[in-house]
Amino acid sequence: MSSNEWEQEFFIKKGKYFLEYMNLRWAYAEAMVDEIVKVLAEHDVQTGKILDLCCGNGRLSIWLAKKGFEAVGIDLSPLFIEDAVRKANEFGVESQVKFLVGDIQKVDEIVVSEKPFDAVINFWTSIGYADEKSDEEIFNKTRRITRKNGILLIGQCMHREFLPLQFNPRIYTEYEDTVLLEEREFNQISSRLKSTWKYYTKEGENMRFLDSCIFNIRVYGVNEIVSILEKTGWKVMDVFGSLMTRRPFNILTVMNIIAKAV
């Protein structure tokens, strides 16, 4: 299954399951955006237009709009974008945020009438869905639509240093009436994590199988992302383990990278 095929199935065809899972993260979206706003201010981006690459159903774009920024979110899944538009209306920020369906591999074409951006965010391991060459091209295109000294913030990203150390081949998560079982394989040579996500619904003491789909991503080491960024016109300013606490990055934390358009 090529990267495009699994993405289509996971995020579009069977996207209603991931949408429910993604909704759990709305609980701390405002707190996360408060930290994003602080980081941007520290790098002289106090106002302006933010591009949210792989925006999902819009939790960060909508809260950025609530905090006074203009936001443009792009995502592959029409289902997530429809939900984001609905939520923007509910939050009363429909005039400050725009949501577009599209593949970030064509980001420059999709947002051609929106550029330049003052900052770009890419959150919750939203890179590595295709291959290294495509990712390099995405950061290259993103750089070209960002103003000089604009900021790129890659947040809450899984990384290669962490994965073999804490590797768990089966992860169960329960939320509302759903049980999610992830069966994972990590290929050290290709650095790809391939998981089968199996969704079940609780029925009394039993669980009924709903559906399954494949998730398959290239997991980068921090040095690899830094090298891609530096090749594509970004200067890495900082790497943190947590945006909330500014804990330094280490092999047990997630990866948060702040880079400047040079």
Ligand X SMILES: C[S@@+](CC[C@H](N)C(=O)[O-])C[C@H]1O[C@@H](n2cnc3c(N)ncnc32)[C@H](O)[C@@H]1O
> Distance (Å, rounded) from C-alpha 89 to C-alpha 80?
14
Expressed in angstroms, the distance from the first to the final Cα of the chain is 37
String marking each residue 62-81 x if it binds ligand X according to CB under 6 A: ------------xxxx--x-
Residue 55 in contact with ligand X, rule: CB under 6 A: yes
Residue 25 in contact with ligand X, rule: CB under 6 A: yes
Residue 91 in contact with ligand X, rule: CB under 6 A: no
Quick check: 10 and 214 in contact, CB under 8 A? Answer: yes
Report in angstroms how near the CB of residue 165 gets to ligand X at its nearest: 21
- From the list 261, 229, 231, 257, the residue with the least C-alpha distance to 116 is 261
Report in angstroms how near the CB of residue 58 gets to ligand X at its nearest: 8
- From the list 60, 56, 73, 61, the residue with the least C-alpha distance to 21 is 56
Residue 195 in contact with ligand X, rule: CB under 6 A: no
Total residues in contact with ligand X, by rule CB under 6 A: 22
Stretch in the footprint of ligand X (CB under 6 A) among 54-62, 166-174, 211-219, 226-234: 54-62
> Cβ-closest residue to ligand X?
56
The residue from 70, 103, 135, 161 that contacts ligand X (CB under 6 A) is 103
Residue 191 in contact with ligand X, rule: CB under 6 A: no
Structure tokens, 29: 């979206």
Helix (H) or strand (E) holding 3: helix 3-7
Quick check: 119 and 146 in contact, CB under 8 A? Answer: yes
Q: Using the minimum distance from each CB to ligand X, give the nearer residue, 87 or 198.
A: 87
**Sign (positive or negative) of CA dihedral 153, 142, 6, 203:** positive
**Residue 14: how many CB atoms within 10 A of its CB?**
18
- From the list 81, 87, 86, 117, the residue with the least C-alpha distance to 102 is 81
Question: Partners of 192 in the beta sheet?
Answer: 187, 218
Residue 56 in contact with ligand X, rule: CB under 6 A: yes
Report in angstroms how near the CB of residue 148 gets to ligand X at its nearest: 25
String marking each residue 122-161 x if it binds ligand X according to CB under 6 A: -xxxx--x--------------------------------
Q: Using the minimum distance from each CB to ligand X, give the nearer residue, 39 or 76.
A: 76
DSSP of 145-158: TEEEEEEEEEEEE-
Residue 197 in contact with ligand X, rule: CB under 6 A: no
| Binding stretches for ligand X (CB under 6 A) | 7, 11, 22, 25, 54-56, 59-60, 74-77, 80, 103-105, 123-126, 129
